[in-house]
Amino acid sequence: MVDWKNSVVLVTGGTGSFGKKFIKLMLEEVHPAKIIVFSRDELKQHEMQAAGYNHPSLRYFIGDVRDYSRLRRAFNGVDIVVHAAALKQVPACEYNPMEAIKTNILGSSNVIDAALDTGVTRVIALSTDKAVNPVNLYGATKLAAEKLFVQSNSYAGGRSTRFACVRYGNVVGSRGSVVPVFLKQRENGAITITDERMTRFWISLEQGVRFVIRCTEQMLGGEVFVPKIPSMKVVDLAHAIAPEAKINTIGIRPGEKLHEVLISDDESRSTIEMDDMYVVQPAEALWFGRDWQTRGTPLADEFRYASNTNTEWLSIPQIREIIRPIEEGYRQGTLE
């Protein structure tokens, strides 16, 4: 377990949707000794402080994960790193491929090197369902980042540094989510979707944050943690947000999947099922995370955790309940 109250925690991308929610929960419930917000945008850091994120335990560092020397300076004295910084907009990554690689892959490599060099104890990185069998550059960069974090446990040697990942689906209402887009389109009486068959995994921002905290506490090193979360049909989301609006189908976009996958059938051979999550163990038996096989149930061969074959689904009334606070934030202009 983690002794949070005596730990120094750093969040890369700390001014993003995840970072702000993570820091809010840390301050309200966990109370670590110090929390460091590491991000490259001084305006967003100023806005966070103006919005009340000015607790005495908070520190703000300007820096980019592309800059190893700045990361190393920021990581001095840090016990736990949550790596949330990324370029994640699929079209932007497609149009700026080298920028996505520099941030998502080379930036992850810098985080790993700086953690090893400064003695950080635990590093947990955020990944996405788009990293499984990727069809776009964003997914490919997150797959590469996952591999870096898992494989880098071999570099720890006698050090105490451990690396793990969490991988989950679309975050409801986060920056880049389709929900604010649909809310805006609703005002014009028509919503566009790419394909009526499309399904997605869904998780709330708070659920994602709490899952990361829990996995940070339980990680041994080398795991990819996957929560059990519901699926929803994108067309049901459109009906939930704007039941009276016309729905226009415009065709699937480049780099987009009909359905997402959180665990591939190849990964299932090394995956353990727990009550409310799956743990993809590292392939190398000598690594730390293999002990999970004594805690849960191995998956059947060729098991595949996909959004269209999921056993848990959100109904339109359930979706309406979930998006209610997001709608309120949209109306008030406070949506993250």
Measured CA to CA, the distance from residue 132 to residue 152 in angstroms comes to 19
Annotation marks residue 184 as catalytic: no
Measured CA to CA, the distance from residue 149 to residue 116 in angstroms comes to 12
C-beta of residue 256 within 8 angstroms of C-beta of residue 90? yes
Could you tell me the end-to-end alpha-carbon distance of the chain, in angstroms, rounded to an integer? Answer: 31
Q: How far apart, in Å, are the Cα atoms of 114 and each of 65, 139, 163? A: 10, 24, 12
Measured CA to CA, the distance from residue 259 to residue 200 in angstroms comes to 6
Catalytic residue among 130, 142, 233, 257: 130
Measured CA to CA, the distance from residue 133 to residue 307 in angstroms comes to 14
Tokens in use for 77?
Answer: 């004295």
CA 167 to chain centre: 6
What residues pair up with 191 in beta bridges, in sequence order? 247
Measured CA to CA, the distance from residue 314 to residue 170 in angstroms comes to 14
Residues that are catalytic: 130
